[in-house]
Every structure is written in structure tokens, then in C-alpha cells.
Amino acid sequence: MADNRPLPPGYSVPVHRSLTAPILLAGAPRLATIVNGTLAAALGIGLQLWGVGLVFWIVAQGICVFAARRDPQFADVLIRHIRTRGYYAC
């Protein structure tokens, strides 16, 4: 039903990209970045393994950024996948 009639004034509203874009922190979802930073800080400060904490943060953040480029809401999907049981599970 493509109609080529002009729209009345004020009928269309511009939608800004910031309203539809996901909230990312350092290129990854906010929740994943906070979890990565907390675990890296626990390794670095709590266990005094500074190098391991830094390497963990770099690797984990890199994986999250890679996954966020494919699907910005991968963390929500992963959490839902873990919480829900399979329908056809034996």
C-alpha cells in the first residue's frame, strides 16, 4: 500500500540515532565492561597479581568488543540463554 500522498505538517518526527544505539562502554556492553574491570581489579589488587589482572582485562575486553561488533546485545542474550531451560531438553 505505497501511497505517494504528501504527509501533513508535523506528521513525521526525526528519531535521533542516540535513542536507538546501544549503550557501550569502551566498545563493549556496559555490564560486560564493569564485570571485566571488577574481576581484573580483584586479580590485581586483591591477589596482588598485577600482570595477570591486566592481561585478563585486555583479553576479556577484547573478546567483548569483538562480540559487540557482531551483536551489541550479546550480553543480554547470553544471560537469557543461561537463565532459561531448553524446551526440548531431555
Which pLDDT band holds residue 10 (cuts at 50, 70, 90)?
confident
Question: How confident is the model over 59-74, as a mean pLDDT?
Answer: 95
- Domain assignment present for residue 15? The answer is no
- Quick count: other Cβ atoms within 10 Å of Cβ 55? 13
- Domain assignment present for residue 42? The answer is yes
- How much is the pTM? 0.72
Residue of 28, 34, 18 lying closest to 65 (CA atoms)? 28
* Domain limits for position 52: 23-83
Sign of the torsion angle spanned by Cα atoms 77, 78, 84, 87: positive
Structural domain total, the chain: 1
Question: How confident is the model over 59-72, as a mean pLDDT?
Answer: 95
